Amino acid sequence: MPETRLTFKEMCAKFDVTPRTLRYYEYIELLEPAREGRTRFYAPREVARMTLIMRGRRWGFPLEDIRQFLLIYEERGTKAQLQHWIDMASGQLAELEKQRQDLMTAITELTESREATLKMLNAP
């Protein structure tokens, strides 16, 4: 059974990214589509990599960290990649927790300011 390949346009639609984004990911060597003339085709490997890239971006990882994570698999294998993932995830979870605390502080301060302003506005 032949492997399913996606065209450039199909890849953009599948991951809801712009052509510019997809070309940039190729430029920084996150993706390596097959080429036939000027046409790009994305094999299952590239689709899987794009899935990981999109997850990483959603979780707040910089593209360079994602690129390094993907390289580890090619250079050192699955076990090394999984260990690196644990380290990356631990660090990012700590960063996201800090951001959550900062956000909760900002929400509390803004709520208090709004309430105080409402009281001043409604005062006789």
* Same domain assignment for residues 3 and 45: yes
pLDDT band at 2; cut points 50, 70, 90: low
pTM of the model: 0.80
* Same domain assignment for residues 44 and 94: no
User: Residue 16, SS3?
Assistant: coil
* Residue 90: per-residue pLDDT: 97
Q: What is the pLDDT of residues 27-61, one digit of tens each?
A: 999 999 999 999 999 999 999 999 999 999 999 99
* Same domain assignment for residues 51 and 69: no
Domain that holds residue 115: 64-124
Tell the burial category of 25 from Cβ atoms under 10 Å away from its Cβ (0-12, 13-18, 19+). buried
Bridge partners (DSSP) of residue 36 are 39
- Domains in the chain: how many in total? 2
